[in-house]
Amino acid sequence: MTLRVQDNGRGITEAEIANPESLGLLGMKERTALLGGEIVFHRDPGGGTIVTVRIPQGGTLVHAKGPA
């Protein structure tokens, strides 16, 4: 399954994508990874941000290992 969301704002910067304090982006990355998928954040040259999420069909929840 592919989900693509696009807005017409100022666009996300590479620094914002890479910022480890961007908890919203981090949360999206973690949730996508738990489903065995991938997420890509992209700045549209015409303005705005594009977020594309790909989850494999029949994706299985990947359980994160917590502290033992």
> pLDDT (tens digit, 9 = 90+) per residue, 4-61?
999 999 999 999 999 999 999 999 999 999 999 999 999 998 899 999 999 998 766 6
pLDDT at 58: 77
Helical H segments across the chain, by residue range: 14-18, 23-34
Placement of tokens 């399954």 in the chain = 1
CA–CA dist 40, 46 (Å, integer): 18
pLDDT at 28: 95
pLDDT at 45: 87
Asked if residue 67 has pLDDT above 80, the reply is: no
Which SS3 state, helix, strand or coil, does residue 21 take? coil
